[in-house]
Amino acid sequence: MAEIFEDAKTRFLRISAMVIKEFKSLLQDKSTILILFLVPLVIIPVLATSNISTDRLIPTIWIIDYDNSEQSEQFITTMQNSSGVEGLIELSKIVYASGELAPIEPPFLEKEAFGIVSEELAQKTIPTKYLDAYIILQEGFQESLATNGTAELVIYFDAIDFILMVTSEMTVLVSLTDIQLQNMLLERDIYFYPELRPDQTDMGILALTSSLIVPLLGLFTMLLISSQSIVGDIPLKRMLNTSLRRGEVVTGKVISYSTLALFQVLTTLLLIKLFGVMINCLWIELFFVVLVNSIVGVCMGIFISTITRTKLQASQLFLMVFFIMFIFQYFTRSFLVFIPLEQTKIAYEALANRGMSLLDPIVLNALFKLALNGIFYYVFSLIYIKYIKKRFV
Amino acid sequence: MSLKRLFNPFERFFSLIEKETRVLINDKGAMIITFFIPIISIVILATMVPEQLVSDEGGGTGIGGVVGTEIPLVGIIDYDNSEGFPDRDLSADLVAKFQEREENGECRLLISTNQSELEKMIGRGELDTFIIIPSLFEFNLSIHLPVILPVVLDTIDSISLMSFQEFVEGVIYEFKVENNFMGVFQLTKIRMNVPENNQTYFAAFPLLIPMLIFGIGMLTSCQAIISDIPKDRMVLTPTNKQEMMAAKVVANTGIQLGVGFIIFISSVFMKLEIRSSYFEYAVVLFILILNAVLTGVAISALAKSSLAAFQYFIFVFILNLVIMWFVQDPTILALIPLNNGSEILLQVVLRGQSLWTCFDQIMNLTVESIVLYIFAYLVFRRQKTML
């Protein structure tokens, strides 16, 4: 029994020495530490002071009028003047009608060019950024409205920029609703009316994105810095000739980099609080979740550092991990259980936005998956450094 | 290096390029990963998501698959008891439409009579959206009046919000078409320029490709000066810092052109529908690569240690991403290479506009590249101790 205690004590001393050595070498490189804190110190104020703007998403719509009737002219005028349905939804747009001059792609050396709105020109212009949608008012538009109470509209949308296409479709639908209401044109229809919970219209960018940004900053900065920890550790080879065991290197590094992460998380969350982002849970609970996220980043980084042979390899592998995680989280939405950022996002949203507690099953589940990711990388780093890794710098 | 080569500036320069390239290529593991990153990213995008994101026609917003393939949790509450159509219960038919989708595995459905329960569930994230079928739904439709269908959406999960909204809109649109509830204006929506192949790759292209180029280019070249051990000795030879710097830029650009080539070939292989010529596409890639390399070299000149260079990289990269995604100020965006690159790829390569129409963005990138090069050189020249 005494031997076990003695062994644990010497192991503890060796790991402590490793942690102290790691801190000393990290603190020697002051610029590295500075940048680690500079990342949240710059990015959070940038987000906090930015305003939401939809200028880029203002669609340009052309109306090609083949009816040339009083009703079609009224349609065009209402479409041009409508800014949405009053009291419900407001959307900006730029509308040009048949015969008007609309901006088109300028020829070489000319700053701008204009063309007369027509179907032929619309077909040519629709792939470019100068036109997002065009509406055809067919011959007999007025007559159809008068006799049937309905009229056919053909609308062409450009689908190259998907986000802009969504905005264009929504803008056209809202404008058509406004035209019907203003002219008391009523017919069987089902209007999809979205109600937002919570209503985010008055929320700032930082409040809207904190569940994405805070985990991202913590995970990737710690992942990158710790991905250089073993592969860039020059004295490590000599140290392994002492009584220091290989597994203890990994543990020592995880502890020292996690301590560094603790201060970074603290800075980030203090900034979040400072800029008035609403946190509906105990601050310490959120701190815990974000810290676990950063520790998982450290474990992943150390795993990368263990399996690579050069600093460049480690950094490239970091980038590959970043891209794979990014694609899985934002595009394919698959393998999310293996994406620490997604698990942190779930836990963060549940705590900070939904006001749950750390003991809530949703939070615990996400936290468990997150921790499992970290443990996986930690254990594999131990196995790799102990049994597989042969070369050190 | 022979003496003859050493004293001939051109030969010396080419030798330096050769040396820099060899240093990079010697790290085979790093080079394999470098070239593997675009391949794996493009392959995942092209194979792991549904081929068809948007149809040429159809309802909804048409962007569901772009942001995910998750199954939404949908709640329905039916307040309608009105009569209007003989032998039909319209609200029940609408509910049945969602049940059909549930049977196909497209959603999970919760039919409830308690709205506050649904509100509570959406607040806890246990439900993604719920639809309220209002009273007089059937009656109003029967007398040729429009009805408003409130759809409550959970906005906290911002990544999946759009795809869930699309799903609900799609089902409602289908119901409208089947029952001819198309309102006063019978819309025929036609989506132009919808790519036939690999729509997710097409949608992600203007965002992902600049990220890949800037990420890989900056990260590799951010070690160009700081990690170059023999450069202290080289300063003692006739080689000057100007040549060393230029050689580093050329060698790193050369390696990154390999990455550009892989992206280029992958686009052809994945049948990316571009509207520009392949020459214009290659020119755009070259402009982006050069800017990425010069940013990396500037970081390398500025950093005092290899780790600091990586830290600067992550700072610049994340700052670029955050500003591009969330900051809308045009003056700030003009300074962000990722945003300029994204705009040029979208407007020129995907839309087929001339390079001239993106003159501002190209100029921004060019001026930035020149400024970065001069800055990097001045910092590099002032450095006394390099190791």
CATH, residue A172:
3.40.1710.10
Residue A195 lies in a domain: no
DSSP class per residue in A206-255: HHHHHHHHHHHHHHHHHHHHHTTTTTT-TTHHHHTTTT--HHHHHHHHHH
Shortest Cα distance, chain A CAs vs residue B3, angstroms: 32
Q: What is the pLDDT of residues B374-386, one digit of tens each?
A: 999 999 888 765 4
Q: Does pLDDT of B30 surpass 50?
A: yes
Instruction: To the nearest 10°, report the CA torsion of A182, A187, A190, A193.
Output: 10
CB distance from A162 to chain B under 8 Å?
yes
State the ipTM, two decimals.
0.89
If you count residue pairs, one on A and one on B, with CB atoms under 8 Å apart, how many are there? 338
Pairing of strands A151-158, A133-137: antiparallel
Q: Which amino acid is at A109?
A: L
**What is the three-state SS of chain B?**
CCHHHHHCHHHHHHHHHHHHHHHHHHCHHHHHHHHHHHHHHHHHHHHCCCCCCCCCCCCCCCCHHHHCCCCCEEEEEECCCCCCCCCCCHHHHHHHHHHHHHHCCCCEEEEECCHHHHHHHHHHCCCCEEEEECCCHHHHHHCCCEEEEEEEEECCCHHHHHHHHHHHHHHHHHHHHHHCCECCEEEEEEEECCCCCCHHHHHHHHHHHHHHHHHHHHHHHCCCCCCCCCHHHHCCCCCCHHHHHHHHHHHHHHHHHHHHHHHHHHHHHCCCCCCCCHHHHHHHHHHHHHHHHHHHHHHHHHCCCHHHHHHHHHHHHHHHHHHHHHCCCHHHHHCCHHHHHHHHHHHHHHCCCCHHHHHHHHHHHHHHHHHHHHHHHHHHHHCCCCC
CA distance B339 to B336: 5
CB distance from A185 to chain B under 8 Å?
yes
- Average pLDDT on B193-219 reads 91
Q: What is the mean pLDDT of chain A?
A: 89
Residue A199 lies in a domain: no
pLDDT at A4: 81
pLDDT at A384: 93
CB distance from B139 to chain A under 8 Å?
no
Shortest Cα distance, chain A CAs vs residue B274, angstroms: 10
- B80 CB-near residues (< 8 Å, 6+ apart): B90, B91, B133, B134, B135, B136, B137, B138
CB distance from A112 to chain B under 8 Å?
no
Residue A274 lies in a domain: yes
Contacts with A55 from chain B: Cβ below 8 Å: 328, 330
CB distance A377 to A300 below 8 Å: yes
Residue A115 lies in a domain: yes
Tell how far CA A78 is from the center of its chain: 37
Shortest Cα distance, chain B CAs vs residue A208, angstroms: 8
B27 CB neighbour count, 10 Å cutoff: 18
Q: Does pLDDT of B68 surpass 60?
A: no
CB distance from A216 to chain B under 8 Å?
yes
- What is the Cβ-side half-sphere exposure of residue B327, based on CA atoms within 13 angstroms? 25
Tokens of A253: 């590094």
Contacts with B350 from chain A: Cβ below 8 Å: 160
> Structural domain of residue A44, as residue ranges?
8-51+204-388
Residue A188 lies in a domain: no
Q: Which of B183, B150, B148 is nearest to A180 (CA)?
A: B183
Q: Within the 286-305 window of chain A, which residues sit less than 8 Å (CB to CB) from chain B?
A: none
Q: Within the 179-218 window of chain B, which residues sit less than 8 Å (CB to CB) from chain A?
A: 180-194, 200, 203-204, 206, 208, 211-212, 215-216
Place of tokens 């050190």: A392
Contact B29 A36 (CB under 8 A): no
Contact A166 B227 (CB under 8 A): no
CB distance A89 to A121 below 8 Å: no
For residues A15 and A75, membership in a common domain is answered with no
3-class secondary-structure state, position A104: strand
For residues A275 and A150, membership in a common domain is answered with no
Pick from A331, A344, A364 the residue to mutate for testing the B interface (most B CBs within 10 Å). Answer: A331
pLDDT at A54: 67
Contact A105 B29 (CB under 8 A): no
Contacts with B190 from chain A: Cβ below 8 Å: 154-157
Residue A28 lies in a domain: yes
CB distance from B147 to chain A under 8 Å?
yes
For residues A376 and A244, membership in a common domain is answered with yes
- pLDDT band of B232, cuts 50, 70, 90: low
For residues A67 and A83, membership in a common domain is answered with yes
Q: Which of B47, B44, B112, B38 is nearest to B74 (CA)?
A: B112
Q: Which of A29, A50, A176 sits opposite B327 (nearest CB)?
A: A50
Tokens of A375: 């443990």
Q: Which of B45, B155, B176 sits opposite A200 (nearest CB)?
A: B155
Over its length of 393 residues, how does chain A's per-residue pLDDT go in tens digits? 778 888 888 888 888 888 888 888 888 878 778 888 999 999 999 899 887 666 678 899 999 999 999 999 999 998 998 876 666 666 788 999 999 999 999 999 899 999 999 999 999 999 999 999 999 999 999 999 999 889 999 999 999 988 888 889 888 888 888 888 888 888 899 988 888 888 776 778 899 889 999 999 999 999 999 998 888 777 777 777 777 788 889 999 999 999 999 999 999 999 999 999 989 999 999 999 999 999 999 999 999 999 998 888 999 999 999 999 999 998 888 899 999 999 999 999 999 999 999 999 999 999 999 999 999 999 999 999 988 877 665
For residues A80 and A19, membership in a common domain is answered with no
CA distance A161 to A132: 9
Q: Which residues pair with A113 in a beta bridge?
A: A104
Q: Within the 80-109 window of chain B, which residues sit less than 8 Å (CB to CB) from chain A?
A: none
For residues A163 and A240, membership in a common domain is answered with no
Q: Which amino acid is at B252?
A: N
- Average pLDDT on B81-98 reads 93
Shortest Cα distance, chain B CAs vs residue A145, angstroms: 8
CA distance B367 to B362: 9
For residues A216 and A177, membership in a common domain is answered with no
- Chain A residue with the nearest C-alpha to that of B55: A159
Domains and CATH numbers, chain B: 3-48+195-382 (no CATH), 64-179 (3.40.1710.10)
3-class secondary-structure state, position A24: helix
Contact A192 B153 (CB under 8 A): no
CA distance A167 to A84: 13
- pLDDT band of B231, cuts 50, 70, 90: low
For residues A47 and A72, membership in a common domain is answered with no
For residues A95 and A28, membership in a common domain is answered with no
Shortest Cα distance, chain A CAs vs residue B369, angstroms: 23
CB distance A51 to A205 below 8 Å: yes
pLDDT at A300: 97
Instruction: To the nearest 10°, report the CA torsion of A277, A280, A281, A286.
Output: -30
For residues A380 and A236, membership in a common domain is answered with yes
For residues A148 and A254, membership in a common domain is answered with no
A27 CB neighbour count, 10 Å cutoff: 11
Contact A165 B69 (CB under 8 A): no
Q: Which amino acid is at A210?
A: S
Residue A133 lies in a domain: yes
Contact B191 A331 (CB under 8 A): no
- Chain B residue with the nearest C-alpha to that of A170: B61
What is the number of domains present in chain A?
2
Contacts with A88 from chain B: Cβ below 8 Å: none
Contact A198 B185 (CB under 8 A): no
CB distance from B57 to chain A under 8 Å?
no
- pLDDT band of B281, cuts 50, 70, 90: very high
Residue A1 lies in a domain: no
pLDDT at B229: 65
CA distance A176 to A182: 10
Contacts with A105 from chain B: Cβ below 8 Å: 353-354, 357
Q: Does pLDDT of B243 surpass 90?
A: no
Tokens of B352: 């087929």
CA distance B182 to A189: 5
For residues A256 and A362, membership in a common domain is answered with yes
Q: What angle do CA A14, A19, A22 make, to 5 degrees?
A: 125
Contact B48 A334 (CB under 8 A): yes
Contact B184 A187 (CB under 8 A): yes
